[in-house]
Amino acid sequence: MSKEEKKVNRRDFLFTASYTVGAVGVGAVIWPMIDQMNPDKAQQALATTEVDISNIEPGKSITVLWRGKPVFLKRRTSEEIAEARAVKLDDLPDPQKDEDRVKEGKDEWLVMLGVCTHLGCVPLKDKGDFNGWFCPCHGSHYDVSGRIRKGPAPTNMEIPKFEFVDSNTIKIG
C-alpha cells in the first residue's frame, strides 16, 4: 500500500468520524428542545380519572374534579328519568333527548361537566325551577338531565367522554 492510499483512507475515516460525532452532538442539543414539548406528568395524570360510584344512593349526586373542572355524577331515580323524558323537545332552548345524554342501559347515571354554559360558573345542585341545577350568577335553570330550560345559558351542560369500567366505577376522559 502506498503512502498516498494510506493518507486517503485515513482522511476518509477522520471525515466519517467527525460527521458522526457532529451528528450525535446536534442530536444531543436538539432532543431536550423536542422533549420539552411533551405534556408534563401532572397533565398526563389528569387526562382521565376513575370514580367509585358504589356509595351513591338513587337521587343523590357527587362532584369530582377532572382536568381542573367540576364533574357532576348524579344517580337519578326512575321518577327523575321519567320527568326528563316527558319534556317536549320544543320546550327546550337547546333540544336534546334525555336518552342522548346518558349511556345506553345506564339511564340512571348522568355524568356532565358542572360548568354553566353561559359564563362558566358552577351551578348549585337540586335547585332551580326544574329540580336540577341553578346558576345563581345570572339565573340559568337546568333540568334533571342537565338541559338548559330557562335563563341566559345558550346550551345544555356538556357531557364529557366517559365509560363504565365495571358496575362500581366510571372512568372520565
Task: Please give the pLDDT value at position 59.
Answer: 92
Annotated active-site residue in 6, 7, 10, 138: 138
Whether residue 49 sits in one domain with residue 34: no
Place of cell 341545577: 133
> Do 19 and 60 reside in the same domain of the chain?
no
- What's phi and psi for 70, nearest 5 deg? -75, 140
Kindly state whether residues 18 and 98 are assigned to the same domain. no
Could you tell me the CATH number of the domain that includes residue 132? 2.102.10.10
Q: What is the dihedral of CA 33, 36, 37, 40, to 10 degrees?
A: 180
Q: What's the order of all strands across the beta sheet hosting 124-127? A: 124-127, 132-135, 140-142, 148-150
Whether 28 and 94 share a structural domain? no
In 3-state terms, what secondary structure has residue 106?
coil
| pLDDT value of position 8 | 64
| CB-CB neighbours of 84 under 10 Å | 24
Same domain for 159 and 83: yes
109 and 57 both lie in a single domain: yes
Q: Do 27 and 67 sit in the same domain of this protein?
A: no
How many domains does the structure of the chain reveal?
Answer: 2
Whether 115 and 61 share a structural domain:
yes
Are residues 125 and 167 part of one domain? yes
Element (DSSP H or E) covering residue 110: strand 109-113
What is the DSSP code (8-state) at residue 158? P
Q: Is 138 a catalytic residue?
A: yes
Tens of pLDDT, residues 131-152: 899 999 889 999 999 999 999 9
Averaged pLDDT for residues 119-137: 90
Spell out the SS3 assignment of 33-99.
HHHCCCCCHHHHHHCCEEEECCCCCCCCEEEEEECCEEEEEEECCHHHHHHHHHCCHHHCCCCCCHH
> Within this chain, do residues 20 and 83 fall inside the same structural domain, yes or no?
no
C-alpha–C-alpha distance, residues 156 and 173, integer Å: 19
Based on the domain organization, do 8 and 77 belong to the same domain? no
pLDDT band at 1 (very low <50, low <70, confident <90, very high): low
- Please say whether the beta carbons of 124 and 135 come within 8 A: yes
Please choose, from the candidates 151, 156, 46, the residue with its C-alpha nearest in 3D space to the C-alpha of residue 101.
Answer: 156
Structural domain boundaries enclosing 94: 43-172
**pTM score:** 0.72
Contact assessment for residue 171 and residue 165, using Cβ atoms and an 8 Å cutoff: yes
Please report which confidence band the pLDDT of residue 106 belongs to, taking 50, 70 and 90 as the band edges.
Answer: very high
pLDDT by residue (tens digit) across 150-171?
Answer: 999 999 999 999 999 998 999 9
More confident residue, 14 or 148: 148
Residues 122 and 89 grouped into a single domain: yes
